[in-house]
Structure 1
Amino acid sequence: MALTNRFFNDAFRDMHRAISLMDDPSFFDNARRSLQSAGNSIGSVSRYPATNISETPEGYELQAELPGYDKKDIHIDLADDHTLLLSGSVEHRRESSSSNQEQEQTAATSKDVKSTSPKWWVNERVSGSFQRSFSFPNSINSSGIKASYENGILKILLPKANNENKKRITID
């Protein structure tokens, strides 16, 4: 029984240490710096937007979650009769309050002030770009594609091409 108690005491001690580390704001700064030095960039889009695609007898409907994007920064291209390319980019500028601007002007004239830039406690807004392609089994009617963007949801209607020109080949 002493071995069991020791195991749980060690486990709880380790969990307490981990939680204490996360309470220290410098923990996240150090983690961000080490990831950035490894070539990653915290706060950049490194994922594709969440997407739903459904098929009806008439065509396909694609819905993509793109909150925070301006529709002028979203691009939809048809690479060929079966492939849709979706890409976009978003940039967020860090805004400073007027008091920060006054402090910056004061700092420019004072030599003893090192930096007036804010120390970020939470910086979760993402910026960057993405590109994704979707292949469809049926040909797409390029002239009938419609797209709308509302409340952060991009909706693309892709009608299937009319296959009247389809020709069956007989084997000799």
Structure 2
Amino acid sequence: MRVLIVADTHGRLAAAIARLAGEVDLVVHGGDVGAAAVLAALAAGGARVVAVRGNNDTPAQWPPGEAALPATLPVQLECPLPGGVLAVCHGDAAAAPGRHAWLRRRFPEARAIVYGHSHRLLVDTAGTPWLLNPGAAGRARTYGGPSCLLLEARPDGWDVQAHRVSADAWAC
């Protein structure tokens, strides 16, 4: 199963990342979505899309007419995948210095944990569960350009690759 992992779009999505969404089975958004158009662009290629609510997913920060949508996003979720469970939360509930330990205590049975909030791309497969932060797939604080992760989940193992894309075109 191929999984695209994104976070921190804040209402904008790089077109190159939207294209990658058309090549996967599942898209996981780690919060701070910012607009329904982001979720629609990620789903346009036919993949199932799941997302959690981030600290900026508030009625006041979404476009007019979409104020009720952020409340429909869960604060956390767990996705059963071939070979294990992928846990997802935005990560803002824990302070940065202790965030990784907090996440690992919160989801000890997961194979990997997706979080956002920092806008910093991170793949930590040294500890268990793995910690995966796709960075920012939108326009705000990308630290080198919009980024995402591609996860290949098989019953016998998982592989993850980081992707940084050009910010010259936007899907929304």
Higher helix share: 1
Q: What is the TM-score normalised by the length of structure 2? A: 0.19
Q: What is the TM-score normalised by the length of structure 1? A: 0.19
Rg comparison, structure with higher value: 1
